[in-house]
Chains A and B, each alone.
Chain A
């Protein structure tokens, strides 16, 4: 019987991590529905970007208040996880504060965890106020209604509860240490929880142990639950920001890729020795679909982008179309892409891992033509994203589908394009008049 706690702990840990691993496999399978892109170039730059943008948070601080708060929560999250390591060892081995032998270093560590935990509480409260009391514009856009808003708040509540449990656990421990309870050797410094400890004054050792144990268990179970909540929330960015910044665009922002399938056809068209009546070669495959109407037509990096988006809305608040009341919101483009990808994933789960056409697609069912045509391709959204997401690339892919597969461009654009075809300029002027400006 004496090992029952250890066994329960091991089971909780296995279930928590196992379930998480299962979701990560699903996530990876879904991302792999996208087309492969070559991202093997310039690895040093890619690592540098990851270190600078994800680890170093350089783009977060463009907005100083949100940036600073975010760094506190981020550093708090990373550092306090050292404590989780101790909790796991304690839980499995049945020890108590196994790192206590580190002495003054341990005191320093626990002390800094506590201060960070307190700062996280402050930051999370400010975040909550920004979302719910001040109602910052970017948090109350139409695409944030319903689940996305709840999701954002839920994450803040979970973080608050975890920090509260951590501090309660320490406060009870401190009180037990003061009372000289068995197993509770003097270890750690408690700059914050020393102010909670007085609440426990007069309590017996046994009730204190119960409080300490409950807080300890809820804390670790809470962390495991949070880990598993990630896949269902916008919060995956805490993990995916790293690969996403690694795979982010390295070329100048203004450079769009040239579709290779088109290059082949155009070269053939312009080759004077090509025989237009020649029978297609044996190995000819069906012509590739141009552009994207659904998530499978997008690249893996674009799908990773969608899972990485944490719906902060910096892209949307910088978007000139959105600022002037157009329907386009780059954040919605990313949210729609993820929602559709999840829907496709669920269909595959139901159909033994194979996707059967469900009569829906990203274009039309999620993203409207009106949104796509409102984009000025100005790259403000790309510049604003703190984790190197590129909503513009998805918009362009979908425009390509609309124009090259469906000829569904707005009429004025069709006129412009036929002008280019006929006289090499977007306006209906004669190419021979190109130099008239010199003498006007």
Chain B
């Protein structure tokens, strides 16, 4: 076990009659997936460092339903959404931050219709906010001079037009930022969206993640940065397919920042 993290649940806040600044929506991947759990930990390290008074729902959190909705199961999605909204509203949550662009998109865009109105920010936006307001300073130079290319998650970039926040944050590490030929609005998907993460791909001549990592490798990077736990898995597998796992790292923006503070 690495360093001790300070994490309080909403239940604890409520018991003390207090309210957090922000709710950290961990998401299913961030809670259970071994690789994504490291991203959750890195982000909490940042929150702790910046003295952010945040809460998590813990066992009261449940899947947003995004993946069910995109698989076509609107029933399951709305059940999940309404259960989550009931809890979020009971705690009078106003502001939510998440490391998962899928949760981000669903809570931000699809929950309001069902009675859940919150300000939702992606963790890269929130980190930028912490840096801009002077609450977080990046002093480490772990990545100085390293070549970093950022892979835009579909549900952050194209779906919600957030392109600059992750790039601005990464720039603070003094790394050399290199862009893939297909980036921002024309970025290629990693292959995990729309419930693909949970099934084998249909018959084809290549896997999408292998194609996308090829895009990334063409920039000759030391690090492929992502802002989505699913992209992270797909790109990590893609790097292995290209046998580059020894020379190229796949890291979340939160991890890169956590290592630089």
The 5 residue pairs across chains A and B that have the minimum distance between CB atoms: A254-B159, A399-B72, A377-B194, A325-B205, A424-B62
When distances are taken between beta carbons in the complex, the residues of chain B under 8 Å from A420 are: 63, 65, 67-68, 76, 80
Chain A CB within 8 A of B220 CB: no
- Kindly list chain B residues whose C-beta atoms are within 8 Å of the C-beta of A269: 79
Chain B residue with the shortest CB-CB distance to A412: B199
Nearest A residue (CB) for B41: A437
* Contact, CB under 8 Å: B71 / A383: no
A416 at the interface (CB under 8 A from B): yes
- The segment from B89-97, B124-132, B184-192, B245-253 found at the interface with A is B184-192
A269, A402, A435, A437 pick with most chain B CB within 10 angstroms: A437
Please report the number of residue pairs spanning A and B whose Cβ atoms sit closer than 8 angstroms: 220
Q: Which of B72-131 contact A (CB under 8 A)?
A: 72-80, 82-83, 105, 109-110, 113-114
User: Which of chain B's residues have a CB closer than 8 A to the CB of A403?
Assistant: 71-73
Given contacts A324-B208, A373-B202, A404-B72, contact A383 B158 (CB under 8 A): yes
Per the bound structure, the CA–CA distance linking A256 and B40 in Å amounts to 27
Give a binary string over A181-222; 1 marks a CB under 8 Å from any B CB, 0 the rest. Answer: 000000000000000000000000000000000000000000
CB-CB < 8 A to A265: which residues of B?
75
Interface positions, chain B 192-227, Cβ under 8 Å from A, are 192-208, 211-212
Q: A254-B109, A326-B203, A403-B71 are known contacts. Are A378 and B193 too (CB-CB below 8 A)?
A: yes
Please judge, given known A-B contacts A254-B105, A383-B186, A435-B7, whether A416 and B40 are in contact too, CB under 8 Å: no
Residues of A within 8 A of B74 (CB): 258-259, 262, 290-291, 400, 404
Interface residues of B (CB under 8 A from A): 1, 5, 7, 9, 26, 28, 30-33, 37, 40-41, 44, 56-59, 61-63, 65, 67-80, 82-83, 105, 109-110, 113-114, 154-155, 158-161, 185-186, 188-189, 191-208, 211-212
Contact yes or no, A252 B161, CB < 8 A: yes
Assembled-state Cα–Cα distance A255/B155 (Å): 9
Residues of A within 8 A of B186 (CB): 318, 380, 383
Is A266 in contact with B72, judged by CB distance below 8 angstroms?
no
Q: Hey, which chain A residues are within 8 Å of B155, CB to CB?
A: 254
A437 to B41, CA, bound (A): 7
Evaluate contact between B28 and A425: CB separation under 8 angstroms.
yes
Contact in complex: A416, B198 (CB < 8 Å): yes
Contact between A437 and B40 (Cβ–Cβ < 8 Å)? yes
Q: Interface digits, A414-440 against B, CB 8 Å rule (1 contact, 0 not)?
A: 011100110011110101111111111
Nearest-neighbour CB distance to chain B for A426, whole angstroms, equals 6
Contact of A326 among B63, B73, B188, B201 (CB under 8 A): B201
Distance A327 CA – B205 CA, assembled complex (angstroms)? 11
Residues of A within 8 A of B202 (CB): 321, 326-328, 370, 373-374
- Distance, CA A374 to CA B199, complexed state (A): 10
Q: How far is B57's CA from A432's CA once the two chains are assembled, in angstroms?
A: 11
The CA of A318 and the CA of B208, in the complex, are separated in Å by: 12
Is the pair B1, A427 in contact by a Cβ cutoff of 8 Å? no
| Inter-chain contact A255/B105, CB cutoff 8 Å | yes
**Which residues of A, 131-178, contact B by the 8 Å Cβ criterion?**
none
- With A263-B78, A323-B211, A376-B208 as known contacts, state yes or no: A255 contacts B109, CB within 8 Å: yes
Residues of A within 8 A of B203 (CB): 325-327, 370
Shortest Cβ distance from A319 into chain B, in angstroms? 9
Contacts of A434 in B (CB 8 A): 26, 31-32, 57-59, 61
CA distance A261 to B205 in the complex (A): 40
A13 at interface, CB cutoff 8 A? no
> In the complex, A318 Cα to B182 Cα: how many Å?
10
Q: Please, which residue of chain A has its CB at the minimum distance from the CB of B71? A: A413
